[in-house]
Structure 1
């Protein structure tokens, strides 16, 4: 993939949630909500402040993040769906990323 976000934008791949509830009920695709958790695939260089200084992003590739339900722009690159969003749209970084990947 040859895609590089500009300024303070990031490219995020949604992490799929479980298809079953804790009680074992299988959730059909039509009733599922879109995941609000994703993995940072690529980041821009950062935003320029009013003073012209480049401020780097707090997130890096590989970080697992939480974001709002209606955040970002959905795009398809090489047949894979991604979200492009500003860093300010990210609510937080999940620190224990290995456990988050295993749960997804």
Structure 2
């Protein structure tokens, strides 16, 4: 097993689908620079401050995180691909998986704001 040092974490990337649910194959450029997701598999002891205090990690093993595509260093260990990066390079923690929602089209049209009526230039007779 990999044991990261200091503020480093080991992440097992979640492989992006190359095919949509409807069967359309996505080109390699579809995921080119998009952030990646992965599962935290190991956490270092934490960041060491100049005064000797150690700041514990906010992460927990098993959490799913979001990180920049080119963050960290990729490596293979026992035939499995991992990314090792500093905790500060992680963009977000995924706290819950989004639920798919089906949104039905509405039959109403968007409200349109009418322009104020133009003032009449005709002079009234007295």
- Same fold? TM cut 0.5: yes
Higher relative contact order, chain-length normalized (CA < 8 Å, sep 6+) = 1
TM-score range, shorter chain: 0.7 to 0.9
Structure 2 match to 1:33: 31
TM-score for the superposition, normalised by structure 1: 0.81
Secondary structure, in 3 states, of the residue corresponding to 2:31?
A: coil
Secondary structure class of the residue paired with 1:74 = strand
Structure whose CA Rg is larger? 2
1:19 CA drift (Å):
2.7
Q: What SS class does the counterpart of residue 16 from structure 2 fall into?
A: coil
Q: Which runs of 5+ in 1 are unaligned?
A: none
Matched with 2:80 is 80
For 1:85, what is the secondary structure of its paired residue? Answer: strand
Out of 19-28 and 67-76, give the one that drifted further: 19-28
Query: Cα RMSD between the aligned structures?
Result: 2.0
CA distance in 2, matches of 1:32, 1:7: 35
